[in-house]
């Protein structure tokens, strides 16, 4: 939900992580579309996303959602 907001500190960390991930994914998608990469590299892509802290970004979003749900209950 839109009202499941991140704290200021979480938002800054999330933005930092996702900025790099979004740039990387744009490059990956373009590379696949023009034929320079193959979709068979999904394991490599997933590994790169993990090394770029996608798990931490998901933790931050989950924490915001959990706070939202605890208020709704």
C-alpha dihedral, 61 to 6 to 16 to 57, nearest 10°: -10
Tell me if residue 35 falls in helix, strand or coil: coil
Closest CA relative to residue 63, chosen from 2, 5, 17: 5
pLDDT at 42: 87
Per-residue pLDDT reduced to its tens digit, 6-65? 999 999 999 999 999 999 999 999 998 998 888 788 899 999 999 999 999 999 999 999
pLDDT at 73: 67
Enter the pTM of the model. Answer: 0.81
Tell me if residue 11 falls in helix, strand or coil: helix
Q: Tokens at residue 15, please?
A: 């933005």
Q: What angle do helix axes 42-51 and 8-33 make, rounded to 10 degrees?
A: 160
């Amino acid at each position: 939900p839109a009202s499941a907001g991140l704290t200021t500190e979480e938002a800054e960390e999330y933005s930092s992580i996702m900025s790099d991930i979004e740039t990387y994914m744009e490059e990956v998608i373009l590379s696949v579309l023009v034929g320079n990469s193959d979709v068979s590299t999904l394991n490599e892509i997933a590994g790169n996303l993990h090394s770029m802290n996608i798990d931490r970004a998901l933790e931050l979003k989950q924490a915001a959602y959990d706070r939202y749900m605890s208020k709704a209950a």
